[in-house]
A = this chain, B = another copy of it.
Amino acid sequence: MISRRRLAFPLFGLFFAAQAFAQDGSAAPAGIKVEAPASVPKWGMFEVKVSGLPANTEAVRGILRGDCASRIVDGFRDGDLWRVRFMATPDSGLNYEICCESEDAGSKTIFKGEFEVTEPEPGMHGPVQVRNKYHFAHADGTPFYPVGTTCYAWLNQPEPVRKQTVETLSRGCFNKIRFCIFPKHYVFNEKEPDLYPFLLKDGSEKEYDWDYTRPNPAYFARIDEAVETLGKLGIECDLILFHPYDKWGFSNMPAEANDFYLTYMVARYSAYGNVWWSFANEYDILKDKTVDDWEHYAALVQAKDPYGHLRSIHNCVPFYDHTKPWITHCSIQRQDFYVCAELTDQYRSKYDKPVVLDEIQYEGDIPYMWGNIAGPELVRRFWEATVRGGYATHGETCVGHDDILWWSHGGKLWGDSAPRLKFLKEILYQTPGYGLRHTNQEWDDDAACAEDDPDYLLFYFGRNQPKYRDFNKLDPDASYRVEVIDTWNMTVDDRGIMKGRFRLELPGKEFTAIRVVKVKEK
C-alpha cells in the first residue's frame, strides 16, 4: 500500500495533466482495457475493470460524482485486473473517473465514463442502517428486522456443500448471515480449505508462508459470488474480518498486512449493498490484538468505506465497549449460561444502540454447551429478544450428518427452529413503524409494543403457560383486534374485536404469544 505522504503530491499534480479516455477504452494507451456496464440498477454494484495496466501500477482509485456528493473509493488488484467498485446509491450520479497510478508517480492515467442508474431490482432496498435508535432500515426506508444465522466457514467447504447452503438459505428463514473471511480451524473444522485467502510468497518452501500483498483471486471471487447471490436472496452478509480459530497465521498477521487486508476488503465489498462489517468473532480471544489495534482497524474501515456499512465487534466473554461511536450496534454473545435474551432491554438501555444477540447457543447436540440446545429453547430466546426490542441469531450444530454442521459448514438444516424463525420474521415485518420495545404490562408476561405505537401490543409468555389472561389495563372504551399466536406451531388465531376489558382464553401451552392492536378510528 502506498503511504499517504507519497500519494499527496502526485495525485494533486497530475490529476489534470493525465489523459482522459472514454470507458469503452478505445482511446486508452495501447494494451489498457477498461470495461464497465452502461447501466446498473439502483443499489447494485457498479464495477469498472481495468486490464493491461503496467505491472508497476500501485493504486487505482475511483471518484463517483453524484448530484449531492462525490465518493472516492480504492480499486484493488485482482490477478491481472484492477477492479474499481461503486454502489449505485441514491445520490450517485452518472460520471466517474478512474485514476491509475504507477510506481513511478509521474505516470498516472485517468479514465472517465458514465453510467445510468436504473430501477432497483425487485426486493433491493439499499444498505441497512440504524433507524429509530434501536432498529434497522434499508436506505430506501424499508424496515429491516434481522433474523440471522451463522455459517462461519461455509465458503471454505466443497462446492456441493456451498450449493446446498445457498439452497437452504433460499427458503427465506433468514435475512442475515454471519461468516468469516478467513478459513477456520477449530473443533469440527480440522480439514484444510481448498483455497487460501493469500498466495504464497514466490519461491518460498515454508508452509503457510503467505504473501500478504497478494490476495488469492479465486478465494475472493467465491466471496464475491456469495455476497451477490445472498444479496439477491435478501440476505445481509455480516462479514467477520478477524477471528481466532486459526492455524495459518491470519489471526496475527503483521500490522501492515492487517491494514492492507482491511483496505482491500473495503475496496472489494463496500460497493455491495448487503455487507456489514463484523470486526471480529470473539475479539477477546485474539490475544495479540489490543484495544488500540481494534480502534485502528475501525478507524481505517470507517475512513475508507464511503457508504458507512454497519460495524460491530463480537465478544467471547467480556463485551467490547459498545459505547464507542464507531460501533453501530451491539453484536453480543451471551455471557451467562442461562440468561441472555432476557437481558436485551438492559443492553438497549446501557448502549443506546440496536442489540443483536449473535450467539445465544445453537440448536443441536454436540458435546459443547454452546451448541446443544433444542429448537424450542432457541426459538424461545428469539422471542424473548424480540419482545424486548432486540434481535437474535440462529446457528445449528447437529452431529451425525457427514460431519457437516450448519453453524460452520452450511449444508442442510436438521433442526426444528428455522421455520419457526421464519414465522417470527413474518410477525416482525407486521410491526407498524420501526421496531418493538419492551413495555410494562403485567409482571407476569414479557410484553412489547411497537416502538412508535403503544397501541400495538405483543405479549409473549415463553415457558409460562396461562390458561387465560384478564386484560384490565387497556382503554375500556376502545376496541382491539386480538390474536393468539402459537409461536411453535406457527398459527395465528384471530379472536376478533374486543372491548378493552376482557378475559382471553388461552391454550395453556408454552410459547404462546398474544397480539392486541387497537382499532384506530378512520
Q: A466 contacts the other chain (Cβ, under 8 Å)?
A: yes
Beta-carbon contact of B466 and A367 below 8 Å: yes
- State the main secondary structure of chain A at its contact with B: loop
A226-234, A349-357, A467-475: which lies at the interface = A467-475
Q: Mark A311-326, 1 if CB is under 8 A from B, else 0.
A: 0000000000000000
Q: Which residues of B contact A367 (CB under 8 A)?
A: 444, 466-470
Q: Which residues of A in the span 370-393 have a Cβ within 8 Å of any Cβ on B?
A: 370, 372-374, 377
Listed stretches A99-107, A337-345, A426-434; interface member: A337-345
Give chain B residues whose Cβ lies under 8 Å from the Cβ of A370.
Answer: 444
Give the contacting residue for A369; candidates B339, B365, B369, B444; CB below 8 A: B444
Instruction: Report whether B467 and A399 are in contact in the complex, using a CB–CB cutoff of 8 Å.
Output: yes
Complex CA–CA separation, A373 to B374 (angstroms): 18
> At the interface, yes or no: A163 with Cβ under 8 Å from chain B?
no
CB distance from A372 to the nearest CB of B (A): 5
Instruction: Tell me whether A443 is interfacial, beta carbon within 8 Å.
Output: yes
CB distance from A376 to the nearest CB of B (A): 9
Give the distance in Å from the alpha carbon of A510 to the alpha carbon of B373 in the complex.
8
CB neighbours of A399 from chain B (8 A)? 467-468
Contact B369 A464 (CB under 8 A): yes
What chain B residues lie within 8 Å of A465 (beta carbons)? 365, 372-374
List, in ascending order, chain B residues with CB within 8 A of A461's CB.
372
| Oligomeric state, in copies | 2
In the assembled complex, how far is the CB of residue A344 from the closest CB belonging to chain B, in whole angstroms?
A: 12
Tell me if A400 is interfacial: C-beta within 8 Å of chain B.
Answer: yes
Answer yes or no: A368 CB below 8 A from chain B CBs.
Answer: yes
Given contacts A367-B468, A468-B367, A470-B367, contact A374 B463 (CB under 8 A): yes
Any B CB within 8 A of the CB of A508:
yes
A358 to chain B: closest CB distance in Å? 20
Whole-angstrom CA separation of A451 from B88 in the bound complex: 68
Chain B residue numbers with a CB within 8 Å of A467 are 365-367, 372, 399-400
Q: Is A445 an interface residue (CB 8 A)?
A: yes
Residues from chain B with Cβ under 8 Å of A365 in the complex: 465-467, 508
Give CA–CA (A358, B273) in the complex, Å.
Answer: 55
| Distance in Å: Cβ of A462 to nearest Cβ of chain B | 9
Contact flags A210-241 to B (C-beta < 8 A → 1, else 0): 00000000000000000000000000000000
Interface string of A491-515 (1 = CB under 8 A from B): 0000000000000000010100000
B372 and A464 form a contact (CB under 8 A): yes
Does the CB pair B468–A369 fall under 8 Å? no
Q: State the CA gap A336–B342 with chains docked (Å).
A: 11
Which residues on B sit within 8 Å (CB–CB) of A464?
369, 372-373
Q: Which residues of B contact A373 (CB under 8 A)?
A: 463-465
Chain A 450-467: CB-based contact to B (< 8 A → 1; otherwise 0):
000000000001011111
Instruction: Tell me how far the C-beta of A8 lies from the nearest C-beta in chain B, rounded to whole angstroms.
Output: 53
CB-nearest residue of chain B to A336 = B339
- Which residues of B sit under 8 angstroms from A372, Cβ to Cβ? 444, 461, 464-467, 508
Q: How far is the CA of A510 from the CA of B465 in the complex (A)?
A: 19
- Knowing A337-B342, A338-B338, A338-B339 are in contact, say whether A366-B400 is a contact too (CB < 8 A): no
Tell me whether A510 and B444 are in contact in the complex, defined as CB-CB below 8 angstroms, given that A342-B338, A365-B467, A467-B399 are known contacts. Answer: no
Q: How far is the CB of A255 from chain B (nearest CB, A)?
A: 33
Measured between alpha carbons, how far is A337 from B444 in the docked complex, in Å? 9
* Residues of chain B with a CB closer than 8 A to A443's CB: 369
Of B337, B366, B369, B444, the contact of A368 (CB 8 Å cutoff): B444
Mask of A122-147 contacts with B, CB within 8 angstroms, 1/0: 00000000000000000000000000
In Å, the complex CA distance between A366 and B336 comes to: 29
Q: List 17 A-B contacts (CB under 8 A).
A: A337-B342, A338-B338, A338-B342, A365-B466, A365-B467, A365-B508, A366-B467, A367-B444, A367-B467, A369-B445, A370-B444, A372-B464, A372-B465, A373-B463, A374-B465, A377-B463, A399-B467
Told that A338-B342, A368-B444, A374-B463 touch, could you supply 10 new A-B pairs with CB distance under 8 A?
Answer: A339-B339, A365-B467, A365-B508, A366-B466, A367-B466, A367-B469, A369-B445, A372-B444, A373-B464, A399-B467
Interface residues of A (CB under 8 A from B): 336-339, 342, 365-370, 372-374, 377, 399-400, 443-445, 461, 463-470, 508, 510
